[in-house]
Structure 1
Amino acid sequence: MADSDNSRTLPVVTRRRLLSTSATWLAAQVLDVNAAPHPGNGPPDGGDPTLMLWQDWRAAHNQVEKFCRRQQRLETALIAAVGFPHVDITVPDQHCVIAAFTVEQIDRQFGDAPEHTKAKGAAKAVLAESQAAWDALDERIGYSRAKEAEEKAFTMREQRLNDLFSQPARSVVGVAAKLHTVIAMGEDSPGDEFPWPQIRVAMMDLLSIGQENIGNKE
């Protein structure tokens, strides 16, 4: 009993292992549902519609992760090659250098004083050159296109998430599917702060109950 209690201590509930285990188990349940008899053109007998919606969400979630990685890789390449569009300017009367990323920032720093007109114009020209270099490389490697694809993937995942949680679960497996989405989408949250450790333990409980129920049916 002591060993069992120790194995459930919250700090050892790792995110990746739980996500991988639960996703694999849920995917197996989807396969079982798909293999069940279909009444006409309807859903499989005894199937929980939540599982099908979870499968749709998971596909959308995988797309989000794919496009996020691509967008981040291209952004890193852009910054390494040409730097983020900006211009370093010396702030009048303050003898310090700051980075300006927009024309508005340049105008704000230099103000309307006539003696700063030339420096302000030069700063805007440098910023324009920096932006042009960024835009040219962006067009060539497809960073903006990747970012747009990422945004569309996020929108699709949100729609799939809403579909999933709008459907009442009819089984322990269905509840586990919903909880899996919460854990997956909260993966970047601190692993040792409430409520994430408790949510992960609840997921372990559902997996255990679900496996026991399936075992009892066999």
Structure 2
Amino acid sequence: MTERLCREQRRLERKLAETIGFPSATILSNGESVTLHSLKEIRELLGVDPIDSAVRAKAEADFAAHQAHWDAADREIGYSAAMRAEHEAANRAEALLEELSETAATTLAGVAAKLDAILKEGQSSEDDAEFPWPQIRSAIEDIAGISRQREPG
């Protein structure tokens, strides 16, 4: 669920970025066009110098207008809602993993399930060759082999 919601959130963010652009303001600084992506960046670059106050005020207003445009489009397509849903799913998955780690396995299948959860949550890809992922995959295969040997017939 978390992965599906993450993909959806990224799709919506990409759509916003392509249609609206990330909130920003562009100013001329030392003869060069500079794009700033936050009020903090604007204030850090332009400081409190009275000479720059008109430029700063215009940049802040431009940024606020762009942010408002982004926010309106966000509400229309549901980007922030998708991001909240993704965070909630990630928090729920984390809580379930914590609960899983606190629950004793009583069968080989239970141990394999715990290892599989670790593998799915932790490895960057199914063929990740960095420690400990190959070792965990090997342990899961060993458990499956032992389980098959223990089954009657």
With the length of structure 2 as denominator, give the TM-score of the two structures: 0.91
Counterparts in 2 of 1:65 and 1:95: CA distance versus 1, 3 Å: same
2:24 corresponds in structure 1 to 86
Counterpart contact for 2:24–2:36, Cα < 8 Å: yes
CA separation of 1:187 and 1:117: change in aligned 2, threshold 3 A = same
Q: 2:14: which partner in 1?
A: 76
Q: Does 1:107 align with 2:55?
A: no
Change (3 A) 1:96 1:198: farther
Structure 1: 5+ residue runs without aligned partners? 1-62
In the alignment, what sits opposite 1:197? Answer: 134
- Cα shift readout 1:111-148 (whole Å, capped 9, x = no counterpart): 12221111111111111111011101100000001111
Per-residue deviation at 1:89?
2.6
Tell me, in whole angstroms, the C-alpha distance in 2 between the residues paired with 1:95 and 1:181: 55
Q: What's the CA shift for 1:212?
A: 2.2
- Computing the radius of gyration from Cα coordinates, the structure with the larger value is 1
Q: Which runs of 5+ in 2 are unaligned?
A: none
Amino acid at match of 2:22: F
Give % identity. Answer: 36
Q: Deviations over 1:64-113 (max 9, x none)?
A: 1221111111111111110111122333xx44443322212211101122
TM-score of the pair, normalised by structure 1:
0.65
Q: 1:201 to 1:120 in 2, by over 3 A?
A: same
Distance in 2 separating the partners of 1:138 and 1:81: 11
> In the alignment, is residue 119 of structure 1 matched against residue 55 of structure 2?
yes
2:104 to 158, 168, 176: 168
| 4+ residue runs over 4 A deviation | none
Bigger RCO (CA 8 Å, 6+ sep): 1
- Aligned equivalents of 2:45, 2:20: Cα separation in 1: 24
SS in structure 2 of the partner of residue 191 of structure 1:
coil
SS at match of 1:85: coil
Amino acid at match of 1:85: P
For the aligned residue pairs, the C-alpha RMSD in angstroms reads 1.7
Q: Look up the equivalent residue of 1:196 and give its one-letter code.
A: W
Q: For the residues of structure 1 that align with 2:35 and 2:141, how far apart are their CA atoms?
A: 50
- For residue 34 of structure 2, the aligned residue among 86, 94, 98 is 98
How many residue pairs get aligned? The number is: 152
